[in-house]
Amino acid sequence: MKKVLWIASISVFLLGMGVAGAAEFKLGSIEIQARSGSACGGPAYIALEKGFFAEEGLDVTLVAGNFETQKAGLASGKFYVANGDFNFFPSIVEGLDLKIIAGLHEGCIKLIVPPDSPIKSSKDLKGKAIGVDQIGGTPFFVASLVLAEAGFDPNKDVKWKPFPLDQLSVAVNKGEIDAYAAWDPFGSLAVRDLKYRVISDIAVDPLFAGRFCCFLYASNKKIKEEPEKVEAILRAYNKAIEWIGNNPEEAAKIEIDKGYVKTTDYALLTQLLTEYKYHGTQQLHGTGQPSDPKADALYFASRLQKAGFFQGKNLDVEKWVDGVYYDVLGTTKK
């Protein structure tokens, strides 16, 4: 009899735990493709580790993948949101149904050359081979805008070669590429440890500085079907952004200790997170101007158009940005 009562008690306890768990994650489970090894995935890492997703009723798993798997997941509705640069813009123009719902932070990519390179500036890159982690990824588009600003056609005047991020320096040593563009911490580590020279650092290059480089995108399918869940995700990201801005050193420790980034240098990562100027929506950019992700989206869309990435589309970029930017938290009545 005692054994039966004990089993019954355990069953009730476990059932209660299940109900509590279900209540804790009232909005269910989702995946976010954020495990890239790059420092700019910080808002997702911190939102998970500090419990901001859980506070919003979300059981979140961070997964790895590439730009193509991310686009496919967003298109199908498997993924609700994605952290990305203006590299998504051409895909949206081609029909990928996404909305820009927030700006995340400023510069996180460097275009660099080895210390003995004859390349002194972007004007020396014509005809050269440039390495990136993937064609169509953010470093690819950052380098493309640098080339366009120098007066070149990024689709014709250089050779693009993709390599894994940790193999880009090896490719330079083998003579397969002359320069490369990479996310932090990979670019910053090459500058510090291998004495690479910076051609463009988007944290300080006037072409990019003082503007959001990374935006938060949301699947329009999910905005329509589950707006409350998209709102919750954005609130969690906003909490993480503010927290990182106030605690860059602790954020760096969490990201390194949990294996999210490909470095063990706490001081370097703290410095990078500080340079990214994480801030709330009411705070200021490094330029001293109010944060405005929609204005920054228009700026970069105009630059991409000038660089030839929207050819044949007869695109009115201002009207396009008006349609793509979506104020998730401002459009739903509470």
Residue 218: beta bridge partners? Answer: 81, 99
Work out the mean pLDDT of the chain and round it to a whole number: 87
Is the pLDDT at 153 greater than 80? The verdict is yes
Q: Give residue 27's Cα distance to chain centre.
A: 24
- Comparing CA positions, the residue from 252, 259, 291 lying closest to residue 274 is 252
Lowest-confidence segment of 150-164, 181-195, 207-221, 282-296 by average pLDDT = 282-296
**Where residue 291 falls among pLDDT bands split at 50, 70, 90?**
low
Token pair for residue 79? 């993924």
Radius of gyration of the chain (CA): 22
pLDDT at 11: 42
Report how far residue 21's alpha carbon sits from residue 25's, in angstroms, rounded to the nearest whole number.
6
Is the pLDDT at 49 greater than 50? The verdict is yes
**Where residue 16 falls among pLDDT bands split at 50, 70, 90?**
very low
**Where residue 331 falls among pLDDT bands split at 50, 70, 90?**
low
Q: Give the CATH fold of the 26-105+212-331 domain.
A: D-Maltodextrin-Binding Protein; domain 2 (3.40.190)
Domain ranges in the chain are: 26-105+212-331, 109-201
Is the pLDDT at 234 greater than 60? The verdict is yes
Q: Which strands, in side-by-side order, build the sheet including 179-183? A: 159-162, 129-132, 179-183, 109-113, 197-201
- Nearest 5°: phi and psi at 214? -110, 130
Identical fold between 26-105+212-331 and 109-201:
yes
pTM of the full structure: 0.82
Lowest-confidence segment of 21-25, 172-176, 263-267 by average pLDDT = 21-25
* Tokens 């158009």, residue located: 305
Report how far residue 332's alpha carbon sits from residue 309's, in angstroms, rounded to the nearest whole number.
34
User: Domain 109-201 belongs to what architecture?
Assistant: 3-Layer(aba) Sandwich (3.40)
Is the pLDDT at 3 greater than 70? The verdict is no
